[in-house]
Amino acid sequence: TETPVIFERRDFYAVITLNRPDRLNSLNEAMHLALRAALEECEADPDCGAIILTGAGRGFCAGQDLAGRDPTLQGESPDLGSTLQTYYNPLVRKLRAMPKPVICAVNGVAAGAGANIALSCDIVLAAHSAKFIQAFSKIGLIPDAGGTYWLTRHLGEARAKALALTAAPLSAEDAANWGLIWKAVADEQLMAEAVALAEGFANGPTRAYGLTKQAIQAASTNSLEEQLDLERSLQQQCGWSDDYKEGVLAFLEKRPADFRGA
């Protein structure tokens, strides 16, 4: 049987590839568990400074595996609240709480929860041929895996509602122009760009990156006063780090910094 997720640990970063290409990497239980295990390994490894998440074949991820939802094969209706509680919500939380940058390299179509898992990552690069589809309304569902949150935060209600209600595909270029993702890049450049970012982060001040994520994620719900307090306390931590000492010293000595991530 196929490995639902390919986990590749490279020098100082990791590549996680969703791997059910003939099903456009749609998510079943085995894939969820393998993905979770891979993320946990990255989280626990102090030498892993960044993560690239991508998909095998022509798609990134088509969301929930609907073969496992065939109503003619299922007795009772599935409890989708329980799937979200057990799999999707912990996955989104783990990506957000990951104390190192997560780069999503969207290599092809990202539909349903697949789109919203991509949007849960810190930096989203998408190949020009990729599309983002909030496919949920086509099967009578609402956007999940944070979809209603990401769309509304990044795009505002007007675009969020139209994308969710129509399930219209959004091109990588429009996604970038609308501020939903970081960049659309040529298909053949996608992995090279993702790797360049990961290598840069892997040599960077990992702790400061983790705290930067934390601060930016808190900003959308904090008041300015709360955010200023948060910045003060996180910056205090940074100021006590070896990386800060090294960064300043390297600047003064006019040489590249040799960060250790602590």
31 contacts ligand T3D (rule: CB under 6 A): no
109 contacts ligand T3D (rule: CB under 6 A): yes
- Can you tell me the distance from the alpha carbon of 77 to that of 89, in angstroms, rounded to the nearest whole number? 20
* Burial status of residue 228 (CB atoms within 10 A of its CB: 0-12, 13-18, 19 or more): exposed
132 contacts ligand T3D (rule: CB under 6 A): no
142 contacts ligand T3D (rule: CB under 6 A): no
- Sheet containing strand 170-171, edge to edge, reads 59-61, 109-111, 131-133, 170-171
143 contacts ligand T3D (rule: CB under 6 A): no
139 contacts ligand T3D (rule: CB under 6 A): yes
* CA 239 to chain CA centroid, nearest Å: 28
147 contacts ligand T3D (rule: CB under 6 A): no
Extract the tokens encoding 135: 């496919």
Nearest partner of 260 among 244, 237, 236, 240, judged by Cα: 244
Rg value, the chain, Cα: 19
238 contacts ligand T3D (rule: CB under 6 A): no
* Burial status of residue 59 (CB atoms within 10 A of its CB: 0-12, 13-18, 19 or more): buried
* Burial status of residue 16 (CB atoms within 10 A of its CB: 0-12, 13-18, 19 or more): buried
Closer to ligand T3D at the Cβ: 24 or 197?
24
CB of 135 to ligand T3D, least distance (A): 4
CB of 123 to ligand T3D, least distance (A): 22
67 contacts ligand T3D (rule: CB under 6 A): yes
Amino acid at 28: N
112 contacts ligand T3D (rule: CB under 6 A): yes
66 contacts ligand T3D (rule: CB under 6 A): yes
Closer to ligand T3D at the Cβ: 26 or 203?
26
Stretch that binds ligand T3D, among 23-31, 96-104, 155-163, 251-259 (CB under 6 A): 23-31
When CB distances to ligand T3D are compared, the closest residue is: 63
Site residues (vs ligand T3D, CB under 6 A) = 23-24, 26, 62-67, 69, 80, 83, 109, 111-113, 133, 135-136, 138-139, 141, 144
